[in-house]
Amino acid sequence: MPKLIEMMKPWQWMLYIFFWALFVTSIDRHDLATWPQFFVKFLSRIVQYTLSIIPSLYLIDYLRPIFKRDNPINVSMKILLLFAITSAVSATLVMLVKINTGWLVYERKAFVLDVLFNIVITVGFTLVFMLYFIRRYRELIALKQSFEHKLTAQNDLIKARIAPHFFFNTVNSLVSLIESNPPKAADLLQHVSALFRATFDGAREISFEEEVALCEHYLAIESSRLGDKLVVNWNLPDDDVMYDMVITALTLQSVLEKMLLNVVEMTTETIFIDITIEWHQHRVTITVTVQLPSKTLMIVHDLRRHVNFYIQAERLRAYFDQSADIQSDVTNEQIVTVINYPLYDVSI
């Protein structure tokens, strides 16, 4: 349930109140003989509806934690009752002011009927608004479920691509280390546990520190098998900057996984990977530069086909913005992959 007061800007709420007051005054003009009487009643209704609607919206927003635990029917009845009470109170206060200033002659029957009329009109408008809100809410729920199903399917595809070769290579490394170096095998098993736990947590947004930790777990696992063939240099922002950064889980790890699969494992030469992270003007830019081997033949066309990050880019767009993207530039000397997405600093 979103905050109602934030659904429209203050001037939009006042515009809504203005036209609502104009409409009600127009249909209730049977006892108005002159234009000054019309304007007095019109202005009094603006004041009345402002006193009725704005406090009610703030009160509903304040009670949101309680309403979340209740069923929709009960919540709807409570909201209608709240608007009916505030309408009766505001109508009574406005009419008492008009009576004391001489703008209205007190008649008990007319006074009660006017209060009841305002209650009925307010409840009617509230009911129409709630029906529209419920329809929009159901559409948003359906859209959210579709979005979650899409992300789940994308995450399953990523897991399916990571699991086969990585799992068997890791098992083989563990088997050899258990006999030759049990402490190193235990460390490797901890890295494997941390990485696979994150892999099967599903598509989600995590802190950048967590993503870097997952990448380090992954690189530690692969380094136990690749040895000196892999050298990774990290260029990270300050800890204070990293603390506020977020990213979709396994985005950077997936990029590194493809680089190791398509470059490092295809050569006996040492491959240098440089990872630079920058956060500037509300955008995060992650540059992964992989130096291609000089003696081993690497077919650039095949590399361009294999280093495609469409699924990872879609996950980024789903969480951040349609401007998020992942692009790779492949030359004869290197592969430069740039992860770019908007991220606003909450402290600014």
User: What are the C-alpha distances in Å from 233 to residues 203, 227, 268?
Assistant: 27, 15, 19
Give the per-residue pLDDT at 6: 64
Tell me the average pLDDT across 290-304: 86
Tens digits of residue pLDDT in 215-270: 998 898 888 888 789 999 999 999 888 888 999 888 898 899 889 988 998 898 99
Give the per-residue pLDDT at 348: 44
* pLDDT tier at 160, thresholds 50, 70, 90: very low
What percent of the chain lies above the pLDDT cut of 90?
20
| Angle, helices 108-180/310-319, rounded to nearest 10 degrees | 150
> Which of 4-13, 47-56, 58-67, 241-250 has the least mean pLDDT?
4-13
Within the chain, where are the H helices? 10-27, 35-62, 64-68, 72-101, 108-180, 182-199, 208-226, 239-244, 251-262, 300-306, 310-319
Give the per-residue pLDDT at 171: 72
pLDDT exceeds cutoff 60 at 314: yes
Tell me the average pLDDT across 78-106: 85
Burial category of 324 from C-beta neighbours within 10 Å (exposed 0-12, middle 13-18, buried 19 and up) = buried
